[in-house]
Amino acid sequence: MTSAPGADLAIGIDIGGTKVAGGVVAADGTVSRRARRDTPHRSTSPDVVEDTIVAVVEELFAAVGRERVVAVGIGAAGFVAADRRTVVFAPHLSWRHEPLQENLARRVNVPITVDNDANAAAWAEWKFGAARGETHTMIVNLGTGIGGGIVIDGRVQRGRYGIAGEFGHMQVVPNGLRCECGNRGCWEQYASGNALVREARGLIAARSPVANDLLAGVGGDPSALTGPGITAAAQAGDPTAVELLAEIGHWLGVGIANLAAAFDPGTFVVGGGVSAAGPLLLDPARETFRRQLTGRGYRPMARVVAAELGNEAGLIGAADLARMDSAGLELP
């Protein structure tokens, strides 16, 4: 489709384990319109997730005018192949070698660009957010699982097969908890939104009195307990919620110390929904990072900072990459 004169907007779509979030993004990274749908979690049909994506895109087209949109960028929570067309594997969704770009292009009559959601978020934080001016950046997104992205000298590092940055599936505990990816002991089993909720529900299942206030806060229904709810309780001073976030922060620090040994970045940007806990999460993470960093005391230590773009980093980055792609620019 040929865009109308004055078309200057891109739509970014961020597909997580629990939601599809979309936004209309200007060239300076600002988001003017938003739309959201719940992800049909563990749906056996990729078509259902695809339908959800299209519904969000159509809502945003209606809000700003389809003729003003130059491209749609998709940030997918999964392993995206080097062709940036295919989702090879998504631990929290039903995609297996899914030709997502081709499928959406048949239904959305604007150029489509697909990338990993954390790569998109890393690009956004480097260009518009917390990592501006940094030569070596790593983003760690704590959501349903853990996503990661790497930007070095202004280029996203995707690896030979497009699957670099899957930090959440590093093994941190030999023979540890089973992960949805099929392995055991993956980092995201200890430092993610799912891990936070699992630990809280475990205390409730054990009938621990320290979890009484958390249980009362959800009307006695453990299934109603959520990561944002635990974070809110911690921010209100609930000691058990504070302790649970500190434990997640500890495991976050373990993982970034390992990443620092391998990549030596200047800045770690921590994003995703769990990062809304702020210092309750990041202070324990920084302390563990400081204690476990190899060569500590004899080398510079990377900054560990909160993402500035919040939960919208993925859709902002996806939109910006799509805009560049539609303009014929080499993607970073």
Strand order in the sheet with 87-89: 79-80, 87-89, 96-98
Average of per-residue pLDDT across 13-31: 92
pLDDT tens digits, 274-285? 999 999 999 999
- Calpha distance 214→45 (Å, rounded): 35
- Calpha distance 92→39 (Å, rounded): 10
The CATH 3.30.420.40 portion of the chain extends over: 9-123+312-326, 132-307
Which amino acid is it at 233?
Answer: A
- Calpha distance 181→230 (Å, rounded): 26
- Calpha distance 103→86 (Å, rounded): 10
Architecture, CATH, for domain 9-123+312-326: 2-Layer Sandwich (3.30)
Class of domain 132-307: alpha beta
The pLDDT of residue 154 is above 90: yes
Residue listed under structure tokens 């476990």: 292
pLDDT value at position 75? Answer: 95
The pLDDT of residue 6 is above 70: no
The pLDDT of residue 3 is above 60: no
Report CA Rg, the chain: 20
The pLDDT of residue 255 is above 60: yes
- Calpha distance 109→304 (Å, rounded): 41
pLDDT value at position 144? Answer: 86
Strand partners, 57: none
Residue of 224, 241, 222 whose CA lies nearest to 281 = 241
Residue of 43, 1, 3, 2 whose CA lies nearest to 20 = 43
Count CB neighbours of 329 within 10 A: 10
Q: What predicted TM-score, i.e. pTM, was given to this entire model? A: 0.90
pLDDT value at position 40? Answer: 63
Residues 6+ apart with CB under 8 A from 258: 170, 172
Residue listed under structure tokens 């909720």: 197
pLDDT value at position 309? Answer: 95
pLDDT value at position 90? Answer: 85
